[in-house]
Structure 1
Amino acid sequence: MHCPFCNAADSKVIDSRLAAEGCQIRRRRECISCGERFTTFESYEVVMPRVIKSNGKNEPFDEAKLRRSLMHALQKRPVTQEQIEAVLSDIQLKIRRLGERDVKSRMIGEIVMQALFALDHVAYVRFASVYQDFQDVEAFRRQIEQMQQREQECEKHDV
């Protein structure tokens, strides 16, 4: 690690501690050349898979795009920011756990729909209407019927 004071290449670690709830390591360092002390933070890098769009193009996973989609579906719904952040993290975790370098956008959409179904049914239908490109009221009706059937099946399994 280069010293920020004299730009020397060598430094020694004096102290290491966990930071950011265990997601980072805080290291206190001392420059071998000038003796100045400085702090560095080390964290892991999570690499998300690339997204294969329906037209076949590849693009990097875009967390901001996912967040916007969720926020749009959840607009004016009784859901806290903490719940949204938890769902966002859960979706990303599920995508990473697929273990693929490339994931089809359709798969990501299905994961998002599962998460929204569990969180808020109105947001689920809103997202589905855009994701599945509903063209008429009948498409909404079919989606709501499917949602109700799915909910009934879940209730049967809970009994």
Structure 2
Amino acid sequence: MQCPFCQHPSNRVLESRSAEAGRSIRRRRECLECNCRFTTYERIEYVPITVIKRNSDRELFNRSKLLRGIIRACEKTGLEAARLENLIDNIEADLQQRSSREITSADIGELVLQQLKPLSEVAYVRFASVYRQFTGIRDFAETLNHLQANDSTAEPHSYSTNGSRNGSALTV
């Protein structure tokens, strides 16, 4: 490892510790020539994943692009940034474990929806509206009805037009 200050090739490690939730190792180093200190990170090198877009274009998987879309869907839902980072970590780990190095954007969208559903129904519907390209209120209604039909763990409830909870069925 070259010193970033004097480019001398020899240095010593002063301290090593786990970083990024165990995904990397942070090392504090000191150059043996100029005695300057610097930090390096050791990370696993992942095999690049190619995303096949709807229009058949191909691009490399971009974690930050996916995170931006999820953050947009989760605005004002109260979900902490750490939970969203964890969600992205789970999706990226799933993609890395697949044998295929190419994945469709539709598959990634479905992975996001699977991860968002238990966290926030509002974020789920917001993300679905963009990912599934909703064109009208009927698309929202179908998604809401699907969510309500699959909601077996929560108490039966719905919201009236004024936003308050009641026991009646959801109608749109």
Show structure 2 runs of 5+ residues with no match.
Answer: 155-172
Question: Is the CA contact 2:26–2:41 (under 8 Å) kept in the aligned structure 1?
Answer: yes
Q: Which runs of 5+ in 1 are unaligned?
A: none
Q: Which residue of 1 aligns with 2:137?
A: 137
Q: In the aligned structure 2, how far is the partner of 1:75 from the partner of 1:96?
A: 28
Shift of 1:132: 0.9
Residues 52 and 104, structure 1, Cα contact 8 Å, conserved in 2? yes
User: 1:59 maps to which residue?
Assistant: 59
CA separation in 1, counterparts of 2:38 and 2:94? Answer: 34
Provide the residue aligned with 2:120 in structure 1.
120
Q: Secondary structure at the match of 1:135?
A: coil
For residues 85-100 of structure 1, the aligned pairs below 5 Å read 85-100=85-100
- The answer to whether the Cα contact below 8 Å between 2:5 and 2:36 also exists between their aligned partners in 1 is no
Partner of 1:43: 42
Give how far 1:69 is off. 1.0
Task: Name whichever structure is richer in helix by fraction.
Answer: 1
Distance 1:4 1:75, change over 3 A: closer
The 2-side partners of 1:117 and 1:5 are apart by 49
Opposite residue 2 of structure 1, the aligned amino acid is Q
* Superposed structure 1 runs of 4+ greater than 6 Å apart: none
Question: Corresponding residue for 1:28?
Answer: 29
Structure 1 residue identity aligned to 2:73:
A
Given residue 114 of structure 2, which amino acid in structure 1 is its aligned partner? Q
Give the aligned residue type for 1:92. E
Displacement of 1:83 in angstroms is: 2.0
Matched, 1:102 2:122: no
CA gap of 1:14–1:111, structure 2 versus 1, over 3 A, is: closer
TM-score, length-normalised on structure 2? Answer: 0.73
Structure 1 SS opposite 2:150: helix
Alignment RMSD = 2.5
Aligned counterpart, 1:79: 79
Q: Secondary structure at the match of 1:93?
A: helix
Check the 8 A contact 1:53/1:105 in 2, yes or no: yes
